[in-house]
Amino acid sequence: MVTRIVPVLLCGGSGTRLWPLSRKSYPKQFVPLVGEETLFQASARRLSGRTDVLDFAAPVVVTHSDFRFIVTEQLQGIGIDPGAILIEPEGRNTAPAVLAAALHAVREDPEAVLLVAPSDHVVPETETFQAAVAKGLTAVEEGELVTFGIRPTRPETGYGYLELTGEPDWEGEPVKLSRFVEKPDAETADRMVEAGHYLWNAGIFLFAAKDIIAGFDTHCPDLVAPVTRSVDAANPDLGFLRLDPEAWSEAGSISIDYAVMEKAPNLSVVPFAGGWSDLGGWDAVWREAGPDENGVVLSGEATAIDCNNTLLRSDSDRLEVVGIGLDNIMAVAMNDAVLVADMTRAQEVKQAVDALKAKGASQATHFPLDHRPWGWFESLVVGDRFQVKRILVHPGASLSLQSHFHRSEHWIVVEGTAKVTVDDEVKLVSENESIYVPLGAVHRMENPGKVPMVLIEVQTGAYVGEDDIVRYEDVYARGQGEKG
């Protein structure tokens, strides 16, 4: 018998421990940290297709409004059509997100079985993971809530643990859970790994939608009413479903572990012996990337001379990173920020983000490339009364019809062809041609071609902030001042 599984991808975290590559405006799940695909794309691909036992439906994605077009673009890039994309008005941790997905799914199919997973984990062996999911179905059929426990490969202090009632069956048969264990200190972690019946908590769950809803009713009833109202009053928006913000704001911010899992008696664990990482720090990226014989990992424009146990990464083709005589060091460079730290202090990177926020540095939260539904732009130079940008527009995409109160713009096309509207004039602007947009003019930029269009934009005026936009028409249905 083949069981249909509805994947639920949670896609709202900020991943501050992987700063500067992961930031609030463009978190780690959308970045190709290990391999060519992004973590989100790899997660979606892992939870797709059909086996002798499993048939994966289109994924349900729970994400933030700013990421909704990134989600659809990245899924299209790997040939996967999404199911529902639920837009959270604000992040409220994992419990409200899971409950909203379950309420939505059970209305489509009262017997729906959900596989809930973060979208930023690395699981290299897809077939092995899907086989573990198939093992968990036997427990789901008995009304169990199933979680997945990873065989520890070291005494890790950055993960929570699952204590089993007995020795794990590495053939993958479900085992009853004794208790959850919070992130331990080094000595406790060492003892638990030696004991043999503690597994890393992967934060991946398998259950019938009706069973997890019943779990919320019993163990976290205060969450049920506001989330249900938010789903009931959800507003369709293009291909997305916006959860009602007023009801959502009344939902508590709580994890699925605290809300249900740590209280539920009907909980089983599928032991998983395959590879897994939550890429919770640059030390994890270093491990997953496969260090060479000297323990060195290089990415991008990076060179190591006489280095050991070192990660050197450049995510800019304009920056060369060179390390000489380094030992146990991680150095990550981008156009606007560079991180250099001892590898053993990888978990402290989020403290750097907090320090940057405190001093008002935009690098704490904002990514150098600002992704939009039509493409992206990056600021090359910013002054008191001017800004220079590089803008890429996808084939067939269009910016909104808009005007500005405080700035004029000069566009120079350097790749492709732009279709430009300025007030009543519409014209094609080709490579090496330019056009001027006066202050207050109603204008739009489109890419009518089959290849990406790139232009340089020079803004001049008293104010060049991104919120100086009045929208008149927009194919992406964005409101005034909305980024996404």
Residue-wise pLDDT for 291-331, tens only, equals 999 999 999 999 999 999 999 999 988 899 999 999 999 99
Higher pLDDT, 260 or 466: 260
Tell me the pLDDT band of 209, cut-offs 50, 70 and 90. very high
The residue behind tokens 């640059």 is 282
Mean of pLDDT over the chain? 93
126 lies in some domain: yes
CATH assignment at residue 65:
3.90.550.10
- Distance between CA atoms of 350 and 358, rounded to whole angstroms? 12
| Average pLDDT of span 176-188 | 91
pLDDT for 467 beyond 90: no
Task: Identify the domain boundary among 216, 245, 272.
Answer: 272
- pLDDT of res. 481: 59
β-bridge pairing 470-473 and 401-403: antiparallel
Bridge partners of 88, per DSSP, are: 64
pLDDT for 107 beyond 90: yes
- pLDDT of res. 484: 44
Q: Encode pLDDT of 240-261 as tens digits.
A: 999 999 999 999 999 999 999 9
Which burial class, exposed, middle or buried, applies to 282 when counting CB atoms under 10 A from its CB (0-12, 13-18, 19+)?
Answer: buried
429 lies in some domain: yes
Backbone angles phi, psi at 257, to 5 degrees: -60, -50
CATH assignment at residue 438:
2.60.120.10
280 lies in some domain: no
31 lies in some domain: yes
| Average pLDDT of span 263-272 | 94
pLDDT for 157 beyond 90: no
277 lies in some domain: no
Q: Which domain holds residue 252?
A: 3-272
Tell me, yes or no, whether 403 and 465 share the same domain: yes
The residue behind tokens 């978190």 is 27
> 169 to each of 51, 197, 204, 273, how far by Cα in Å?
23, 10, 18, 10
- Distance between CA atoms of 321 and 311, rounded to whole angstroms? 11
Amino acid, single-letter form, for residue 263: K
Residue 169 half-sphere exposure toward CB, CA atoms < 13 A? 14
Task: Identify the domain boundary among 324, 341, 359.
Answer: 359
| Average pLDDT of span 167-196 | 90
Tell me, yes or no, whether 88 and 201 share the same domain: yes
| Average pLDDT of span 423-449 | 96
- pLDDT of res. 2: 79
Question: Are the C-beta atoms of residues 115 and 206 closer than 8 Å to each other?
Answer: yes
Amino acid, single-letter form, for residue 77: G
Tell me, yes or no, whether 215 and 329 share the same domain: no
pLDDT for 395 beyond 50: yes
- pLDDT of res. 172: 81
Tell me, yes or no, whether 449 and 386 share the same domain: yes
Tell me, yes or no, whether 321 and 341 share the same domain: yes
Domain total of the chain? 3
Tell me the pLDDT band of 480, cut-offs 50, 70 and 90. low
Full 3-state SS string of 194-253: HHCCEEEEEEEEEEEHHHHHHHHHHHCHHHHHHHHHHHHCCEEECCEEECCHHHHCCCCC
Tell me, yes or no, whether 108 and 223 share the same domain: yes
